[in-house]
Chain A
Amino acid sequence: MVTITINGLEVSVEEGMTILEAARFFGFPIPTLCHHEGLSPYGACRLCVVEIGEEPRTKVVSSCTYPAENGLKVRTASERVLRARRMIIELLLASCPQSKIIQDLASAHGVSHQRFRQEYEDCIMCGLCVRMCSEQMVAKAIGFRGRGTNRSIGTPFDVQSDVCRLCGACMYICPACQLRCTFNEPEKAVCNACANFQPPCIEQDRFHDMMCYMDPCVACELAKTP
């Protein structure tokens, strides 16, 4: 067991636990986007940042990848943390405003507008689908390509992957495309991919692996054809 202090509360946690797990266990909320209990931590969305250490030498780290160390002092909602978190949400909102999860995050943190050039991207590169595919489905059908602003997710060479079983897990876990796939009311949803474990559209030959990132969505295309 290691002893850490979270927001002034001294607690004992299991060795090997991350700060995020410890904080959540004791009821301190930390928002996340790229984190999932069943998958390895990735530290990409940076929403889970917390401040560690003692003044004046504190630093901000992502709690999902930082192990709880003996004597560590953690603040999950300091001014510095909230400032960073709000800016991250503003950046998310500027790129992916259609996601319900991101809208909810913005509303919870009082971010009502964003000041950048508005973009409409479908993917925030949180990597949940990539990890889902490799760790839970053990398929490794999709992965990251490119770097920086050219980073994207897909199958090798963009051809249908032999190892993809069309399980739909990638879509199930995606935090950004949720609104588009399920709509606000599941019964009216266009494809219901996320609600149904077996989406109807995946039997289409034209569909590759990544329905949610297809432009236009294969499901939507189906709905258009009579």
Chain B
Amino acid sequence: MCRLNSIENFTALQERLIAESHPDTPTIVIPAGTCGQASGALNLVLTAQHEILSRGLQNRIRLRVTGCHGFCEMEPSVLVEPKGTFYPKVDPAGMRRIIDALLRNDVVQDLLMADGSSGRNYENLGDLPFFRYQNRLLLSQNEKIDPLEITDYVKLGGYAAFVRLLEHNAPGEIIDELKQSGLRGRGGAGFSTGMKWDFLAREKNGKGKYLVCNADEGDPGAYMDRSILEGNPHSIIEGMLIGALATGADKGILYVRTEYPLAIKHLGTALTQARKFGLLGTNILNTGISFDISLIKGAGAFVCGEETALMRSIEGRMGEPRQRPPFPVQKGISSLPTLINNVETWANIPVIFRIGAREYASTGTGDTGTKIFSLVGKIKHTGLVEVPMGTPVRELIYTIGGGPSGKVGIKAVQTGGPSGGCIPAELFDIPISYEGLSRVGSIMGSGGMIVMDENTCMIDVARYFMKFLMDESCGACYVCRKGTQRMFELLDDIAAGKGSLEHLDLLEELSLTLKDASMCGLGQTAPNPVLSTLRYFRNEYLEHIEHKRCPAGVCKELISFSINELCTGCMACVKACPEGAITGEKKQRHSIDQDLCTRCGACRSVCRFDAVDVQ
């Protein structure tokens, strides 16, 4: 493909691609993001390729390997276009049957996803409750795009918004429209993106300005940025190009965590293709405007997601935050004005300018637009869900997520990663918005949502997050380094039954100091998991302290396993016990030697008769 030399060239190419696209050709779409590949999507791709080639079906069936569609629980899945038939958990044999059926213009009924209540099968992707109640403004593009093909993105109307803005070249209007859209930073803090761009545009500097895409997504259980990076890398590039046009920046940096190799590969390819097309680099489409993006890999530190630490990391120094002011917009990378936005924010930009700010702003209540959440934990349907702002938490968990995965009810949901808080089930009617979540002591964060049921111990949860933060604190400021360590020690004591009421007072005092005196956001928000669990689940703390009991049956020092009369003597637990602590004859009730038992819970997870009690 040769370089496009003018705006007319690009428009002509786009029109030609759309005309030649033949959307009616049967197409097998296989999501093969990191999640899909881990569950075996590449095997499906190989099978499909083999079938198509060996049977000479190249002209009748097309194959598209894409990024994640969001329903990670059901992967490896297959989507058949143009009908939109969705097959969950497909194996290679199933793949062959799908191809056979496709040739007959038929559907393999027994491979479809069954509706638990009516016994009917869901045929279309859009019929599934998981997808039906979403508003997939960003994620729906993932199905239609092969991330390694720039033409797929252009065919979908990609880069058209940028080229249109390039033609008019009115930076002020771009920023005004962005402000109208009401877009707020999707990285967590929720600062108005339009305002941020305005600040950068106003910075006068002859030496250049930086735009940075913060793709250092490190929250445990959060992976929405990864799915965009892997599935739709050009949307980020287009977003950054529009940003460059509006703010006058000339250098862009994609800061991707090194733990995302597939995302790095796809972004690298996308950058090369965009440069070859003349959409990136010097003299874009011969308009005289230059902007290039370089890819920088992180080195595995969570704190480098904090913007000042990220800038230092880009400069090649140790990833440690510094106090603001000066803000990055005033003094950023190499002392040049710098603007940092999150992946999802950048991906929203082309959508806003494609559909128009007014249309975009009509989505959502409270805040505008949609937000992607990664729904994980003790929930039936895990995956990525994109809902309009203002959707109640309950709808996300019960309608889309399908409710609890186990036998017990859902107790709480943790949002916003380690800096967020737990929302108890009785508050599930609150709308998902920046203010709504912060009112109940949590934050929007980047969009992690961990669902917990009655078998989750909240002290254990708080302790887990505190351990994470203790390990990930950069250690430069004393309050954060020692404070997280001490909080972890206190929680550890409580979980081990060595806690006292003074522990709780000390935890609260320490939390206040961490919030006030830490240098960066990591330390300032570190106490949130503790404070929110203390606020809503104080009883659990008291139970651990006063009665030395873990109500959820999690804290190993405080529980014991025993076998009740439901035991059929099947020997499954005897075989499963790694310590040899369970004795018993076949068809006789087994018993556990408490001295040998390490409370690993292996017996409980293999028992099919609910015969293992935990106290």
Residues of A within 8 A of B (CB): 42-46, 49, 60-62, 65-67, 69, 80, 83-84, 87-88, 91-92, 94-95, 115-117, 124-127, 144, 146-151
Contact = CB atoms under 8 A, between A and B. Distances in A.
Nearest to A59: B516
Which of B473, B482, B512 neighbours the largest number of chain A CB atoms within 10 Å of its CB?
Answer: B482
8 contacts: A42-B476, A87-B509, A91-B486, A94-B482, A116-B486, A125-B478, A148-B471, A148-B485
Interface string B333-350: 000000000000000000
B317 to A, nearest CB: 11
Contact of B477 (A43, A69, A146): A43
Interface in B356-415: none
Contact of A88 (B301, B325, B479, B485): B479
Most chain B C-beta atoms within 10 Å of own C-beta, residue among A84, A87, A144: A87
B517 interface: yes
Instruction: State the 8 A-B residue pairs at the shortest beta-carbon distance, nearest first.
Output: A151-B475, A87-B513, A60-B516, A84-B517, A65-B323, A148-B473, A91-B482, A46-B479
B510 A125 contact: no
Nearest to B512: A83
Contacts of B473: 147-149
B478 A88 contact: yes
B470 A148 contact: yes
Contact of A146 (B303, B475, B479, B489): B475
Nearest to B326: A67
A46 B506 contact: no
Interface of B: 301, 303, 318, 322-323, 325, 470-479, 481-486, 489, 502, 506, 509-510, 512-513, 516-519
Contacts of A67: 325
A88 to B, nearest CB: 6
A67 B513 CA distance: 22
Given A147-B473, A147-B474, 11 more contacts: A44-B519, A46-B518, A62-B519, A65-B322, A66-B325, A84-B516, A87-B517, A94-B486, A148-B471, A148-B472, A151-B476
B330 to A, nearest CB: 11
Contacts of A65: 322-323
B467 to A, nearest CB: 10
Contact of A151 (B481, B486, B502): B481
A117 to B, nearest CB: 6
Contacts of A46: 477-479, 517-519
Contacts of B513: 83-84, 87-88
Query: Residue among B322, B473, B486, B517 with the most chain A CB within 10 A?
Result: B517
A95 B519 CA distance: 20
Contact of A43 (B323, B470, B489): B323
Nearest to A144: B318
Contacts of B323: 43, 61-62, 65-66
A118 B546 CA distance: 24
A45 B479 CA distance: 7
A111 B432 CA distance: 43
Contact of A124 (B322, B325, B472, B478): B478
A19 B476 CA distance: 21
A60 B517 contact: yes
A45 B475 CA distance: 11
A117 B479 CA distance: 16
Given A46-B517, A91-B482, A148 B475 contact: yes
A186 B471 CA distance: 40
A44 to B, nearest CB: 5
Of the listed residues B472, B483, B516, B519, the one surrounded by the most CB atoms of chain A closer than 10 A to its CB is B516
B151 to A, nearest CB: 43
B208 to A, nearest CB: 24
Contacts of A60: 516-517
A126 B506 CA distance: 24
Contacts of A44: 476-478, 519
A97 to B, nearest CB: 13
Q: Considering residues A46, A60, A67, A151, which has the most beta carbons from chain B within 10 angstroms of its beta carbon?
A: A46
Contact of B303 (A49, A115, A127, A147): A147
Nearest to B473: A148
B516 A49 contact: yes
B477 A149 contact: no
A149 B470 contact: yes
Contacts of A115: 502, 506
B481 to A, nearest CB: 6
Nearest to B476: A44
A60 B486 CA distance: 21
Nearest to B523: A46
Nearest to A117: B489
A155 to B, nearest CB: 16
A69 B324 CA distance: 13
Contact of B478 (A80, A91, A116, A147): A91
Contacts of B477: 43-46
B231 to A, nearest CB: 32
Contact of A147 (B301, B489, B509, B519): B301
A135 B470 CA distance: 30
Contacts of B518: 46
B470 A87 contact: no
Contacts of B517: 46, 49, 60, 62, 84, 87-88
Nearest to B301: A147
A126 B479 CA distance: 11
A147 B304 CA distance: 12
Contacts of B478: 44-46, 88, 91-92, 124-126
A60 B477 CA distance: 14
Nearest to A84: B517
A60 B523 CA distance: 13
Given A43-B322, A115-B506, A117-B489, A95 B475 contact: no
